[in-house]
Structure 1
Amino acid sequence: MADIIAPSAPLPPLHVLLAAPRGFCAGVDRAIQIVETALKKFGAPVYVRHEIVHNRFVVESLEAKGAVFVKELDEVPDDRPVVFSAHGVPKAIPAEAQRRNMIYVDATCPLVSKVHREAEHHHEAGRTVLLIGHAGHPEVVGTIGQLPPGAVKLVETVEDVAGLTVDDPDNLAFATQTTLSVDDTGAIVDALRDRFPSISGPKREDICYATTNRQGAVKAIAPRADALLVLGAPNSSNSVRLVEVARAHGCTRAMLVQRAAQIDWDRLSKVRTLGITAGASAPEVLVDEVLAALRERFTVTVEEVVTATENVIFKLPRILAAE
């Protein structure tokens, strides 16, 4: 007599709120294309100073194609090309590459380069630059490194504003890291304007369109979600900010994960509505991976919540133009 197989229990339902926009921005797309195009043009290995973007999946994918990631320029042979990461580098780095007659390609996001130019403009006009950002982040290090030592003062919090000491309060300007929380940065800018009414700054904060849009999408889904997953790296500023934004807008169970394998399934066992987004350096394949893992455990329905559309494209540097 054949064994009778009992029917398996139905999978619990799960409604997924999929944030849009999410994932790669134009600056990240461009940076990855730069490394891939450099490999085609110059052959392997192509060296990359620091992670091209803050995502291990992306870095490991490029390593498999022949990219070699290093911490400093002195690890790169003179006769091989080097790419500078999307976060930007201090002026001393390309200057050293030129001194060594190296082939180098600058993958700095054009929106970060815009902040560099603004800081230089203010310095040339005799203003002290107050940079809103996180100490030690590569983008902040790169922006500070555009100007002589002491020309930039870092401001991380509203509380920092009260403790600022400046030589000429009437001759100040501010700039911002591009991957900050829109709300937190707005509060710092308000505090700066209250204390220094004549301070100069951009017409809009330098936070990039992609950061703003991804935070806007999270604000739309967070109040509806029992939990929310942000796909991104712990050293990715914009990804960490997405977790903070979700928690600030009603979803206390917002979690940062790099891959589906990192998901704490026990924490999702009673969840019936799950928000999902991805930081600007996280590829869509990782979102697909998470959705596949969810479908193994739940009966999944997906609702894409679109709050903005993006069509920004940045050109590659001339050095990589087809000959």
Structure 2
Amino acid sequence: MSRRNPPAPVHYDEVVSALPALTGLTVAVTGATSGTGYVLAETVGRLGARVVMVNRPSARADAALGALRVQEIDAHLVPCDLQSFASVRAAAPLLAHAAPNGLDVLANNAGVMALPDRPSGDGCDVQMQVNHLSHALLTSLAWPLLRAAARARGESRVVFHSSGARRGAPIRAESLGRTGGSLGGDGFLGTGKWRRYQQSKLANLLFSYALAERVPADSPAVKSLCAHPGPTATDLLGKAADAGAAGLLDRAILGRTRRAAHAAPDGALGLIMASLLPGADSGEFYGPPGMGKAGLAALLPPERDRAAEELVWSQTLTTIGVRDFFGR
């Protein structure tokens, strides 16, 4: 599938110019090699924060780190493969070392899209594990760092990154379990991969609401928020095609997204607002309004479903093997 030249950003400079300096803060971003994750990492670094890039080890991750450091940004790299719970657990002490004064923002940005129906090494659907389950585990492991930053500097935030693709079927418990490879297959039309992606992006939003409801009394200033990018010109589209999303349905979905897409800096604005906007509150959701439209991110109406939130919370903790999410 051909790659078009990316569109120019329209709203990014205006929004970012109004943000406060971030000197003395530490921000961790997963999936920060390119796209919205890299934009967020570069943005917070230019505003004075320490940046911790939580990336799968690769030449691309090293290049992204170098691209920040050449700008004299205080950037650090924590290796973490979100396809493996063991890798996430191994990353936790490295994250603590990189954030000795606590973690002001954990941006759970990394994602994969339209992958075949195959299990991860932990037995989960790969899309669900990378997009949601491993981020939930990382957030649990990083909670002491988030709590420390909130106590020291007044607040901290964890931000999940959903998608316009969240709309569709209700969340299903089996999507969140160790059921990878048995979730509908790929089929002739390839609809299964998109249904699994939809489930993972819905889980992001529902879990952010569930977490906001459950923040314990010893961490009242830790906020849980969510964002979505709208259709955005990032490497995620090309990676989906390279991973085998080349059927008629795949080409239709990816082509439509490319035609509607705005630039990665504009697509990152929901994530940037949820992470950095003064006064943003726990339980809020930021992104472009409308169905599948690009545009300036804004505070969106809540999309609450408390029964579904409870299901996502309980099934997620079971699958990642965590009894007390907050480590009390």
Length-normalised TM-score, structure 2: 0.30
More helix by share: 2
More strand by share: 1
Larger RCO, structure (CA 8 Å, separation 6 or more) = 1
